[in-house]
Amino acid sequence: MDTEQLRTLLTEVAAGRVDTDEAMARLAAGPLGDGAGFVDLGYARVDTHRGVRTGDPEVVYAAGKTAAETVGIVTALRAASGDGRPTLVTRAGRETVDALLARWPDATATDPARPLTTVAVGQLPPARGRVVVVCAGTSDAPVADEAALTAAASGAGVETLRDVGVAGLHRLLAVRDVLASVDCLVVVAGMEGALPSVIGGLVGVPLIAVPTSVGYGAAFGGIAALLGMLTACAPGIAVCNIDNGFGAGLFAARVARAAAIARAANVVTAGASAEAAGVEAAAGGSEPGGTVAAAPVPAGTVGPR
C-alpha cells in the first residue's frame, strides 16, 4: 500500500463505502500487522510499506544482485504497489536490464547500451513541480540520466540540459532563464566540478550538485569534483556522493513536489481572499481588493531526454 492507496482507503471509510473491519484488514498488510510491512523472499526482505512512511517506495539497487534476484524483488514490490508509483531499479547491468524488459516490456529505461542502466517498471506518475537536470558534459550523461529518471519516477516534471559545462559558458548563459524558472536543479559535473558553483552564482534556485568520476589522473575518480563542490563559493548548494544521480533525483523530486503543493495552496487561498474581498466590496460599494493568484509553473517534460 502506498500513500495514494492509503488516502483512497481513508476517503472511502469517511464516505461510508468501506467499513471499519475491512479497512483494518487492509491495513494489516502494513506495519500494523504482526511481522508485516515486508515480504521475505529468503534472499531479501522487501520493504513494501516504505512508500507510506516516507512518501517514496523502496528502490532496487541492482549492483551485486543477480538478474533473477532483481526481478524477484521488483515482482514483490509491484504486487504490493498495485497501480501506484513505478518501481525503480538503479545500476542494472546488461543481463538484468534484459531480464527486466523481458518481464515488463513497457518499462522505461535509460540508455541500455551504457554499462549501468536505470529502469522504471510501471507507469510514470503525473508531474508535480519542475526539475531541471543540468549535465556538464556528455560523459556525465549516465549519472544525469539516473537523476532524471529517478525524479520523473518520483513524481516531478523533468527536463535535461546536456553539455553546458564551464568550458563554453555561452552555452550555459543561453539557458539561464530556464534554470531560473524551476523548483530545483540537479547539476552533474566531473573533472574539477565547477559547474554547480557557476550556476549557483547565476540563479537562486535550490541546487543539488552531483560530482561524477569522469576525469583524468588528479580528478581521483570524482574526489576532485566532490571537494570542489563542497567548497563552492556560491551559497545554497547541497552535494551528493560521487555518481549518486539517484540520491539527487529523489531529493529534487521531493523539493518540486512540495513546491507544487505550496503553489496550489496559495492559489486556493488567494482565490478565497479575492472572493471574500469581492463580497465585502459589493456590500460596501467599493472596488474589490483581493490578491490575484499567480499562475502555477507548468510541469516540464517527464523523464530524461
- State CA 71 to chain mean position distance: 22
261 to 17, 59, 129, 256, 264: CA distances (angstroms):
28, 24, 8, 9, 5
* Predicted local distance difference test score (pLDDT) of residue 80: 80
Q: Residue 206 corresponds to which cell in the numbers above?
A: 535550490
Q: What does pTM read for this prediction?
A: 0.78
Give CA–CA dist 157/148, Å, rounded. Answer: 9
Strands 38-40 and 207-211: unpaired
Instruction: Find residue 238's DSSP bridge partners.
Output: 208
Phi–psi pair at 102, nearest 5 degrees: -70, -35
* Predicted local distance difference test score (pLDDT) of residue 247: 96
* Predicted local distance difference test score (pLDDT) of residue 108: 93
Q: What angle do CA 130, 132, 133 make, to 5 degrees?
A: 145
* Predicted local distance difference test score (pLDDT) of residue 49: 77
DSSP state of 234: S
Numbers of helices and strands, H then E, in the chain: 11, 11
* Predicted local distance difference test score (pLDDT) of residue 46: 87
pLDDT tens digit at each of 305 positions of the chain:
556 677 788 888 999 898 888 887 777 655 544 446 788 888 998 888 787 778 888 899 999 999 999 999 999 998 887 557 899 999 999 999 999 999 999 999 998 778 789 999 999 999 999 999 999 999 999 999 999 999 999 999 999 999 999 999 999 999 999 999 999 999 999 999 999 999 999 999 999 999 999 999 999 999 999 999 999 999 999 999 999 999 999 999 999 999 999 998 877 676 666 666 666 666 665 444 444 343 444 444 544 43
Give CA–CA dist 265/250, Å, rounded. Answer: 23
- Nearest of 35, 66, 31, 21 to residue 52 by alpha carbon: 31
Give CA–CA dist 282/96, Å, rounded. Answer: 67
3-state secondary structure of 4: helix
3-state secondary structure of 91: strand
Give CA–CA dist 141/128, Å, rounded. Answer: 24
* Predicted local distance difference test score (pLDDT) of residue 51: 79
* Predicted local distance difference test score (pLDDT) of residue 256: 96
* Predicted local distance difference test score (pLDDT) of residue 50: 84
Strands 45-47 and 87-92: unpaired
Contact 134, 178 (CB under 8 A): no
Query: Domain limits of the chain?
Result: 1-123, 125-267+298-305
* Predicted local distance difference test score (pLDDT) of residue 264: 87
3-state secondary structure of 118: strand
The domain defined by 125-267+298-305 carries CATH number 3.40.50.1970: yes
The CA dihedral of 148, 149, 155, 161, to the nearest 10 degrees, is: 20
* Predicted local distance difference test score (pLDDT) of residue 302: 45
Q: What angle do CA 81, 53, 148 make, to 5 degrees?
A: 65
Contact 214, 27 (CB under 8 A): no
* Predicted local distance difference test score (pLDDT) of residue 275: 67
* Predicted local distance difference test score (pLDDT) of residue 179: 96
* Predicted local distance difference test score (pLDDT) of residue 285: 52
* Predicted local distance difference test score (pLDDT) of residue 288: 44
Phi–psi pair at 109, nearest 5 degrees: -135, 145
Give CA–CA dist 144/154, Å, rounded. Answer: 15
